[in-house]
Structure 1
Amino acid sequence: MALIAGKCPLDDDSGSRDPRKGVKYLVDTTPYMRVLPEEYVLPLQPKINRMSAGSAAIPVIDLSGLDGPVERRMMTAEAIASACAEWGFFRVINHGINASIMEEMLKVVDGFFNLTLEEKMKYASEDVMNPVRYGTSLNTSKPHALHWRDYLRHFGHPIHTSFHLWPQNPSNYRDVAKEYLEEIWKLALKISGGISKGLGLDWDYIEKSLGEGCQIMASNYYPPCPEPHKTLGLAAHSDHGGITILMQNEVDGLQVKHQEKWVAVQHLPGSLVVNIGDYIEILSNGKYKSVEHRAVVNETRTRISVAVGHGPEMTATVAPASPLVDEKSRIKYRPITYKDYMRAQQSSATRGKSPLQAIMTNNTPQKSSSIDSIPLS
Structure 2
Amino acid sequence: MDCLQDWPEPVVPVQSLSESGAPAIPDRYIKPPSDRPSLDSATDENILGIPVIDLGGLSEGALECRATMKAISDACREWGFFQVVNHGISHEVMEKIQEVWRGFFHLPMEAKKAYANSPTTYEGYGSRVGVQKDAILDWGDYYFLQYLPSSVKNHNKWPGLPTPIRLMELHQVLSNAMYKSVEHRVVVNAAEERLSLAFFCNPKSDLPLGPAPELVTPNRPPLYQPMTYNEYRLYIRKNGPGGKTQVESLKAT
Q: Bin the TM-score by the shorter chain.
A: 0.7 to 0.9
Task: State how far apart, in whole Å, the 1-side matches of 2:36 and 2:144 are.
Answer: 29
Query: Paired residue for 1:134?
Result: 125
Question: Is 2:39–2:187's contact at 8 Å kept on the other side of the alignment?
Answer: yes
Task: Give the structure-1-normalised TM-score.
Answer: 0.59
Task: Give the structure-2-normalised TM-score.
Answer: 0.86
Task: State how far apart, in whole Å, the 2-side matches of 1:53 and 1:323 are.
Answer: 35
Query: Paired residue for 1:330?
Result: 221
The equivalent position to 1:121 in structure 2, one of 100, 113, 116, is 113
Query: Paired residue for 1:41?
Result: 30
Task: State how far apart, in whole Å, the 1-side matches of 2:107 and 2:204 are.
Answer: 32
Q: Which runs of 5+ in 2 are unaligned?
A: 1-5
Letter in 2 for 1:302: E
Indicate the SS of the match to 2:101: helix
Indicate the SS of the match to 2:67: helix
Q: Note if 1:314 corresponds to 2:205.
A: yes
Question: Is 1:65–1:76's contact at 8 Å kept on the other side of the alignment?
Answer: yes
Query: Paired residue for 1:75?
Result: 67
Bigger strand fraction: 1
Q: How many residues align?
A: 244
Question: Is 1:21–1:117's contact at 8 Å kept on the other side of the alignment?
Answer: no
Task: State how far apart, in whole Å, the 1-side matches of 2:223 and 2:76 are.
Answer: 18
Query: Paired residue for 1:146?
Result: 137
CA shift at 1:24, angstroms? 1.4
CA shift at 1:51, angstroms? 5.2
CA shift at 1:78, angstroms? 1.1
Q: Note if 1:157 corresponds to 2:148.
A: yes
Q: Is the alpha carbon distance of 1:48 and 1:89 closer, same or farther for their aligned partners in structure 2, counting shifts above 3 Å?
A: closer
Task: State how far apart, in whole Å, the 1-side matches of 2:100 and 2:200 are.
Answer: 19
Q: Note if 1:297 corresponds to 2:174.
A: no
Q: Is the alpha carbon distance of 1:127 and 1:279 closer, same or farther for their aligned partners in structure 2, counting shifts above 3 Å?
A: same
Using the aligned pairs only, state the percent identity. Answer: 32
The equivalent position to 1:358 in structure 2, one of 245, 249, 253, is 249
Q: Is the alpha carbon distance of 1:78 and 1:339 closer, same or farther for their aligned partners in structure 2, counting shifts above 3 Å?
A: same
CA shift at 1:331, angstroms? 1.9
CA shift at 1:324, angstroms? 2.0
Question: Is 1:279–1:311's contact at 8 Å kept on the other side of the alignment?
Answer: no
Q: Is the alpha carbon distance of 1:163 and 1:94 closer, same or farther for their aligned partners in structure 2, counting shifts above 3 Å?
A: farther
- In angstroms, what is the RMSD of aligned CA positions? 2.4
CA shift at 1:346, angstroms? 3.3
Q: Is the alpha carbon distance of 1:37 and 1:338 closer, same or farther for their aligned partners in structure 2, counting shifts above 3 Å?
A: closer
Letter in 1 for 2:69: A
Q: Is the alpha carbon distance of 1:278 and 1:100 closer, same or farther for their aligned partners in structure 2, counting shifts above 3 Å?
A: same
Question: Is 1:128–1:139's contact at 8 Å kept on the other side of the alignment?
Answer: no
Question: Is 2:75–2:81's contact at 8 Å kept on the other side of the alignment?
Answer: yes
Q: Which runs of 5+ in 1 are unaligned?
A: 9-19, 173-271, 364-377
Query: Paired residue for 2:3?
Result: none
Q: Is the alpha carbon distance of 1:126 and 1:52 closer, same or farther for their aligned partners in structure 2, counting shifts above 3 Å?
A: same
Indicate the SS of the match to 1:304: coil
Q: Which residues of 2 match residues 82-101 of structure 1 at below 5 A? A: 82-101=74-93
Question: Is 1:128–1:347's contact at 8 Å kept on the other side of the alignment?
Answer: no
Task: State how far apart, in whole Å, the 2-side matches of 1:24 and 1:45 are.
Answer: 25
Q: Is the alpha carbon distance of 1:286 and 1:43 closer, same or farther for their aligned partners in structure 2, counting shifts above 3 Å?
A: closer
